[in-house]
Amino acid sequence: MNKSVKIKVIKKGESKNIETPVITEEVSEKDNTDELTSTVSGWINEFQQRRHEEKETAREQFYS
């Protein structure tokens, strides 16, 4: 994670108007990515499991 921080040089006598920088959080973007990844991984696992079960059913019917 690379966050750039702005540094403001304050000269003597200018300390009355100090503005605080706004820091944006990238955590929410990462959370969304993690959620999408887990959802898609779940879909893939369900698809593979269903395919495996269909193959087993087909083999049982073929050899019966």
Model pTM? 0.48
What is d(CA 44, CA 51) in angstroms, rounded to the nearest whole number?
11
Q: What is the mean pLDDT of residues 16-40?
A: 74
What is residue 34's predicted lDDT score, i.e. its pLDDT?
Answer: 87
Q: Looking at the predicted structure, is the pLDDT value of residue 16 above 70?
A: no
Amino acid symbol at 53: E
- DSSP letter, residue 20: P
As given in the structure block, the two tokens for residue 24 are 């944006």
Do 21 and 6 contact (CB within 8 A), yes or no? yes
Higher-scoring residue by pLDDT: 46, 4: 46
What is residue 3's predicted lDDT score, i.e. its pLDDT?
Answer: 73
Higher-scoring residue by pLDDT: 49, 8: 49
Which of 23-27, 42-46, 57-61 is predicted most confidently? 42-46
What is d(CA 16, CA 61) in angstroms, rounded to the nearest whole number?
84
